[in-house]
Structures are given as structure tokens and as C-alpha cells.
Amino acid sequence: MPKQTIVTMPGDGIGRAVMQEALRVLDASGFEANYVEADIGWDFWCNEGNALPDRTVKLLAEHQVGLFGAITSKPKEEAAAELADHLKGKGYVYASPIVGMRQHFNLDICIRPCHTYKGNPLNFIRRGLHGEIEEPEVDVVVFRQNTEGLYCGVEWSNPLGIVYEALKSHKNFVKNFGMVPPEEIAVSTRIFTRKATERILRAAFEHAAQNGYRSVTLCEKPNVIRETSGMMYNMARQIQREYPAIELWNTNIDAQMMWLTKNPEDYGVIVAGNMFGDIVSDGFAGLIGGLGFACSANIGDQVAVFEPTHGSAPKYADYPVSIVNPIAMIESACMMLDHLKQPERAAKIRRAVASVIAEGRVRTYDMLKMKGSPDVLRHGAASTREMGDAVIKELLMNNEQ
């Protein structure tokens, strides 16, 4: 079989350090691939006016599998100020490359698993009825619609002409905003299509069926946001009929965030639109250790990109020895292996990570609840590299057994 080519996009800041560890772990697992590194991120914005150069898009189109670290994004005006002199004033507008990638390749299915690792000191704990400490085991996979909804960028400040007129055609607009002049109004639209909604719902049910989950929870707000959430709920009820063994639960995003800490162990697969999926997945990630542990996949028909949820953490980027936790990136690489139909290899790596966490001898600063600084290494925290080494050592030991 020809070797798979993986497009690596380390990006900015800590993206580079965590990517290195993920690649070393993949190597140690015996995964054979060709890697091509692609340009993405802040330097390319500053020097070319495009954080996602066309050559990177081409590489992804050709090889179809991307492993992404993190990038630095800044607000429009700040970004414009950092452009190279020869690009200033030429109409370049900063756009986030990860959002660009999702839109360009229609990576509409975002998967964000949140699993408890035993022994992780950052695991959520609560008190039981008699004051005892409980550590519920979270095993949730969030399916987030990745391309539509409130993040699709169809928005206006001071909406003029036909947009304002169209709004006025709605009786609730007239009732609530009829007296407000357009220059006092900003509008962001929340558009759901049946096609994309069906794809994310089906992906969620299919994942539940194939992995033994007994419920799919739709986490939206259909009682209030009737057209979009309402459509999604109705479609979910239809699709559930094809999966009689799986229950459909319906929770509102606000209540779900409250229940998150009450009974997180009750949830399995969760499915939501773009923004609510973003919110609920961060909520669950907080229960299993936060950004150092939160991995994700962005999957389209042709192309798939795997990335940790965290950003480039610029304040830690220039440390002489990197201190950040590479586990979210390593877990993202495991999701890539699942996608490439190598689930046994992914499981092997996850077992190695689990052993390292359970043993508790090697912990990055976040796991030790330290404030990040170069000093943490002197106080017993493992570096990014040492965490990578520990996982690799465990992997190789398990191989020998």
C-alpha cells in the first residue's frame, strides 16, 4: 500500500512544540507516513497578506489529511498594523486560517471527544450525598456543526437598504426594533441548512451506534430559537427512528451548562449547531483537564484536519524549554489514526497516555496546577518534550510485552 501523506501545519507559538511531540509519538507507534510541512499562520499574514497561502490549500486538496498545531489570530485593526510595509493599505483583511480551511473544504463535522483519564489531578470532582468525594467518569463526544450558524459571517452593522427592509418584514422586528434607526443596529444571522444539519445529526447517531453509546443529546434551544434549533430537533427526531437502540435526549444549552457538573457521566454523544457546540465542548473539556487535553477533528467529504482545541498561547511560545502539555495534540493525532482506519494504533497510543497519567510521575505544569512560567521545570513540572518522552517510553514498553 502506498504511504499516506500527512500535511503538517505546526503554525504559531506552542503549535510547533506540541506538533513535534505528536509526530515523535506517531513514529514510535510504528505509523508510517510521508509528512509535508505546510505554511500557515501569523508570519504568512504579515509577509504575504494571507495566513492560509494558496500553496497550503493545494497541499491539503492533494493529500486530504492535515494535522494542525495552532495559529495566532488578532482583531482586524491590530492585524492590519502588523502587515509588512509593502502590503499596508492594499486592502488586505485578516481572516482566520482555521475558519478559512473549514469553509474552503467544507469541514462541516467537528468532533470533540472528552474522556476522563484516571489519575489526572485536573479531573472534575464533586461531593456525594454523604459528603464523600466523587469523581464521575466523563465519556462524551461532542459533534459540532462547523460551518454554519452564528459563525458563518453573514452580519451587518448599520444594515442598509434591502437588509433593513427585509428585517422590517418580520412582525417581531417591527414590534421590538421598529423605532430603532439602522445605524443603532448590528445583526448577525444564524443560518442552518437542512443538508448540513442532516450531516451532523447522522454523523452523531452513526458514531453512537458504532461505539456503543446509548444516547444522543441534541443540545440547542428549540423552545426559543424555533426556526433553526427547532428544525434541528425535528430532523433529529426523524433520524432517531433509524436508530431505535439509541435514545434521543433534548437539552437546552443553558440548562446543559448547569447540568454539566451535576451529572456529566450520564451523557454520551452530544450534537449541536456551531456556537452551542463550541460552548458545550469547552464546558465538557473543563471537566477532563481543560485545554491541555481537548482534541478535535474537522471532517469534510474529502479533507479532514485534526487539531488540539487550544490556541498558540503566545506567552509560552518563546520559552527556552517548552512547558505546555502536548497531550491534546497527541490525542488529535490519535483521531487522525482513527480516521485513517488504524484504530488499534490509536488505542495503543491512548493506552500509553493513560498509563503516564495514571502513574503520575510525569506531569506538565497545568496538571500540577502551577501558574505557567519558565520556573515550573525547577519545581517538578515536566517539559513538553519530557511528556512526549514518557508517552513514547510507555508505548515502546507495551510493544515489547
Distance CA 70, CA 12 (A): 6
8 A C-beta contact, residue 296 and residue 329: no
20 binds, among ligand NAI, Mg ion, none (CB under 5 to 8 A by kind): none
297 contacts ligand NAI (rule: CB under 6 A) = no
Looking at the Cβ atoms of 199 and 363, the one nearer to ligand NAI is 363
Q: How big is the site for ligand NAI, counted in residues (CB under 6 A)? A: 20
8 A C-beta contact, residue 117 and residue 293: yes
73 contacts ligand NAI (rule: CB under 6 A) = yes
Looking at the Cβ atoms of 248 and 362, the one nearer to ligand NAI is 362
Interaction pattern, residues 82-121, with ligand NAI; x per rule: CB under 6 A: ----------------x-----------------------
278 contacts Mg ion (rule: CB under 5 A) = yes
Binding range to Mg ion, per CB under 5 A, among 60-68, 209-217, 219-227, 276-284: 276-284
The DSSP annotation for 125-154 comes to -EE-TTS-EE-PPPEEEEEEE-SSBTTS--
Distance CA 148, CA 158 (A): 22
292 contacts ligand NAI (rule: CB under 6 A) = yes
386 contacts Mg ion (rule: CB under 5 A) = no
8 A C-beta contact, residue 108 and residue 144: no
> CA 140, 145, 150, 154: dihedral to nearest 10 degrees?
160
Task: Name which position in 66, 113, 289, 311 contacts ligand NAI (CB under 6 A).
Answer: 311
Name the minimum Å distance from CB 384 to ligand NAI: 8
What interhelical angle do 384-400 and 14-28 show, nearest 10? 10
289 contacts ligand NAI (rule: CB under 6 A) = no
328 contacts ligand NAI (rule: CB under 6 A) = yes
9 contacts ligand NAI (rule: CB under 6 A) = no
259 CB contacts (<8 Å, ≥6 apart)? 251
Cα distances (angstroms) measured from residue 303 to each of 64, 277, 340:
4, 21, 12
Residue numbers 41-70 binding ligand NAI by CB under 6 A: 70
Closest CA to 272 of 115, 149, 116: 149
Looking at the Cβ atoms of 220 and 386, the one nearer to ligand NAI is 386
Residues near ligand NAI (CB under 6 A) are 18, 70-73, 98, 291-292, 307, 310-315, 324-325, 328, 366, 372
